[in-house]
A and B are shown apart, each in its own frame.
Chain A
Amino acid sequence: MHAINYEAPKSLDEAVKLLAAHGEKARPLSGGTDLLIQLRAGTRRPEFVVDIKEIPELARISFSLQHGLKLGAAVPCIAIHENGDMRKYYPGLTEAAHLIGSLQIQSRATVGGNLCNGSPAADTTPALVALGAQARLAGPKGERIVPVDGFCLAPGRTVLQPGELLVELQIPAPERHASDAYLRFIPRNEMDIAVVGVGAALSLDVSDDRVVEARIGLGAVGPTPIFAAEASKSLIGKTLDAAAIERAAKLAVAAATPIDDMRGTAEFRRHVVGVLTRRTLAIAAERARAANQR
């Protein structure tokens, strides 16, 4: 590994200044489970590594039914799984975070890092897209908030500008009868990279089982995670019956743009998008009906 300089600022201000001073030569370090591999392989060669885990604002999960969720960029996946609010209100995002690698990896890896690494197969990104998450960024020109849908531009590339840092992910509080789910397909039980991942979030009117809000996020079936807009829209106002789910699954398949690679063929991936869309919608619906959170 090439020589680096390491800084661990204690405040967001300090981190922003450091990153601004070094621009493209700097890279934020969160859990490091991607970055250290990239440093070793030489695929990223920052001169400055800015560890963001010492910044209190980035290391916390804050949730209330009034204000929703603020998930700091440096919160390790295991802390999400261990958080009662996360499991209760965002079970889909929680299961996505709990699917990433082994416990050793979950002790370090973060949802923020998963997003900023920009892999099309990131497990937590489709779950974030489904929840309508926004990313709060801080950089040399100040702060901005951008939707997670659209955050990734190409494999390994995101909207982050040189010197810019992900501070937190913001997710609205769930409606009374709302929930989410995430499933991925891998050819083994655990510890693999998604061949297909699907996240779904639903809000229901339980008086007639009608969909008030629906969002479906797809992973590993395009150069970036995908928001399946047509599929999501097709559900709104509809009763969530088998026909509605089938229609959404077809539209989700149409939104996927997979390629053939060693993990699976495009044709297989399209098929799996349909299967997982049906299943995540069914799970999210079940959870949403059972939820009663206001």
Chain B
Amino acid sequence: MANKVIVETNINGDPVELLCEPRQSLLEVLRDVLELTGSKEGCLTGDCGACTVVIDGRPVCSCLMLGVEATGKKITTIEGLAAGASLHVLQQKFLENASLQCGICTPGFLMSAKALLDRNPNPTEAEIRYSLAGNLCRCTGYDKIVRAVTDAAAAMAGRGRPAHGTVPSETASGMAGEMLAKGEVK
């Protein structure tokens, strides 16, 4: 019989008490125990970043951490990013810049970007790229993601869209865009 343990943690601002097996990763606990399925499973080896959550202010691959290690920690997952129905500015800018196609990488990118902007509200492009280097995307080619984060930083600082000149003005369209807007893809 699997031995289960009680874990007390804080997720998206709420104290959470949960029951899990010590062998379960934080990603499994989030998805299978708490049914917070916004964090995605890509590689399970720490390479793709799809499972990224923010723990005590730092981006972490939830696939490389045991659920029990969450004891006493403050965890933010993609589900904690929007305030109710109103999207976080990062999410908004991802939509405006069409920064996603299939969307599986998006929650991880958003969490890495959030960890960056919380620490460094005015990052250079190099800093943005460095901070997102642990997240892989097979669809977008990254540029639109970098633009979204640049825009989000500018918006959060009350500046307008910076002059990067070549930004296309379309918003995310198609299924992924609609699903993101409806909160089906997180």
Contacts and interface: CB of A to CB of B under 8 A. Distances in A.
Interface in A1-21: 1-6, 8
A37 B46 contact: yes
Given A5-B3, A6-B68, A40-B44, A105 B58 contact: no
Contact of A32 (B5, B22, B65, B130): B65
Contacts of B2: 3
Given A101-B134, A104-B59, A107-B58, A36 B64 contact: yes
B21 interface: yes
A273 B61 CA distance: 33
Given A8-B71, A32-B65, A103 B46 contact: no
B65 A5 contact: no
A103 B66 contact: no
A102 B133 contact: yes
A217 B68 CA distance: 37
B42 to A, nearest CB: 12
Interface in A55-110: 78, 101-105, 107-108
A8 B71 CA distance: 10
B23 A104 contact: no
Interface string B114-140: 010000000000000011011100000
A105 B47 CA distance: 9
B23 A51 contact: no
Interface residues of B, number: 32
B143 interface: no
Contacts of A39: 23
A102 B134 contact: yes
A81 to B, nearest CB: 12
B63 A36 contact: yes
Interface in B13-51: 21-25, 44-46, 49
A272 interface: no
Contact of A190 (B24, B45, B133): B133
Contact of B5 (A6, A33, A51, A107): A6
A105 B46 contact: yes
A24 B5 CA distance: 23
Interface in B52-78: 52, 55, 58-61, 63-66, 68-69, 71
A190 B24 CA distance: 30
A102 B49 contact: yes
A4 B23 contact: yes
A108 B73 CA distance: 14
B5 A103 contact: no
B112 interface: yes
A32 B44 CA distance: 13
B49 A33 contact: no
Contacts of A40: 44
A118 to B, nearest CB: 18
A105 to B, nearest CB: 6
Contacts of A101: 46, 134
A38 to B, nearest CB: 11
A36 B62 CA distance: 11
Nearest to A48: B22
A26 interface: no
Contacts of B3: 3, 5
Contacts of A33: 46, 61, 64
Nearest to B72: A54
Given A3-B2, A6-B22, A40-B44, A103 B131 contact: yes
Given A36-B65, A103-B131, 20 more contacts: A1-B24, A3-B21, A3-B22, A3-B23, A4-B22, A8-B71, A32-B64, A33-B61, A36-B63, A36-B66, A49-B22, A49-B66, A51-B68, A103-B58, A104-B60, A105-B61, A108-B60, A108-B61, A108-B64, A108-B65
6 contacts: A1-B24, A2-B23, A39-B23, A101-B134, A103-B59, A105-B61
Interface of B: 2-3, 5, 21-25, 44-46, 49, 52, 55, 58-61, 63-66, 68-69, 71, 112, 115, 130-131, 133-135
